[in-house]
Structure 1
Amino acid sequence: MRQRIGDYDIQINTVPSIPISGKETKVNIRITTVSNNPITDTPIVLRISDEKKELTKTHPILLSSGHYTYYYIFNKAGVFLFSIDILANLDTEGSNDSNTLLTFDFPLNVSGPVSAELTSLTIPITAAAMGSVIAIVFMKKFKNRKTAF
């Protein structure tokens, strides 16, 4: 997933690609400028929430070469919001007038353990069904040839 706001370009991906409730999810984050230069020394805060409340929030994190990896275990299936807050133009003198908070929101669809297992079986089931159909067609053709002689 990718979003662009102002001079920031953020990409995230999850491992597994569809998070599974009860199992650890790895969220890879890449933050660059629109000209593809990595963002460094800019604080970010990561938040995860469901439709009712915020579930977790990190302390400010300083990026190293524009990359960060975050691990989380979702306790149930559903849609969650993975938010990345970037505090740009950080003013060290304490004045908040020049500070800008940019928030990037990414929806994550988390599946339950059973549906994830079924999803992983889709390709083998489809291949088996197609193989069966092809075998039946060939058997009928072979049977028709035998009766023709």
Structure 2
Amino acid sequence: MRKRFYLLLPIYLSFFIGLGIYEIIHPPFSTDSSRIGDYEVQVGTTPPVPEVGKDTTLHFLVLDQNENPVDNFRMGVQIYYNDEIVGTFPPANHDYGKWDLDYTFKEPGNHVIRASLVDFKNGGTLSYTFNVGVLNFYMNVFTYLIIAGLSGAGGIVIAIILFQKKLWFKKSKT
């Protein structure tokens, strides 16, 4: 009967450990990519889930049709919230296929990032649209949930140990 309790603990603990690892490796809301013409634009954020009032870095990666970083590109960005422009970054030249943009979101909810890439080959402008979810309290709530889960698991372990010792003391006295 004792071993039944111990069998459930690794399953319980592995759920919370797996959830934490998944959250770090696969950030939810804020990574996306889009391919138009000969280019693919990938966007990601640091931190993985942007929070209101905290600095966020938007990472843009521009790849060619062979998935190699474009040496030199010209891109501008507009940030929309509720169909209104809340941030504009005019087109500028960037090297090595990467552009990191620092921005602080002021409102929670879905923000639309519109990246305009100048196509040097064809002379036009290619527009890419991405959605970025911004939350008020995500990391705080997630941290508290993990702490609560691990505390609950620790409490169960302590309860099982104390319960078994109590039964063991009763058996040894008789």
TM-score under structure 2 length normalisation? 0.73
Size of the aligned set, in residue pairs, is: 141
Contact 2:72–2:94 (Cα < 8 Å) also in 1: yes
Tell me what 2:11 maps to.
none
The answer to whether residue 134 in structure 2 is matched with residue 103 in structure 1 is no
Deviations 1:47-84, CA, capped at 9 Å, x for gaps: 11012311112111112111111011111211111121
User: Structure 1 residues 125-134 or 33-42, which shifts more?
Assistant: 33-42
The answer to whether residue 71 in structure 2 is matched with residue 40 in structure 1 is yes
CA–CA distance in structure 2, aligned partners of residues 56 and 106 of structure 1: 14
Residue 30 of structure 1: how far off its partner (Å): 1.1
Root-mean-square deviation (Å): 1.8
Tell me what 2:103 maps to.
72
Residue 13 of structure 1: how far off its partner (Å): 1.8
Give ranges in structure 2 of 5+ residues lacking alignment.
1-30
What stretches of structure 1 move > 6 A for 4+ residues in a row? none
Tell me what 1:94 maps to.
none
Contact 1:40–1:62 (Cα < 8 Å) also in 2: no
The answer to whether residue 158 in structure 2 is matched with residue 127 in structure 1 is no
The answer to whether residue 171 in structure 2 is matched with residue 140 in structure 1 is no
SS of structure 1 residue aligned to 2:132: strand
Match of 2:94 among 63, 68, 72: 63
CA–CA distance in structure 1, aligned partners of residues 37 and 162 of structure 2: 63
CA–CA distance in structure 1, aligned partners of residues 66 and 165 of structure 2: 62
Tell me what 2:83 maps to.
52
CA–CA distance in structure 2, aligned partners of residues 24 and 74 of structure 1: 8
Give ranges in structure 1 of 5+ residues lacking alignment.
91-97
Specify the code of the residue in structure 2 equivalent to 1:131.
Answer: G
Specify the code of the residue in structure 1 equivalent to 2:134.
Answer: V
Residue 107 of structure 1: how far off its partner (Å): 1.0
**Once the two structures are aligned, what percentage of the paired residues are identical?**
18
Tell me what 1:95 maps to.
none
Specify the code of the residue in structure 1 equivalent to 2:96.
Answer: S
Tell me what 1:27 maps to.
58
Residue 124 of structure 1: how far off its partner (Å): 2.1
Residue 44 of structure 1: how far off its partner (Å): 0.9
User: Where is the helix percentage greater, Structure 1 or Structure 2?
Assistant: 2
Contact 2:49–2:138 (Cα < 8 Å) also in 1: no
Q: Aligned pair in 2 of structure 1 residues 142, 51: CA closer, same or farther (>3 Å)?
A: same
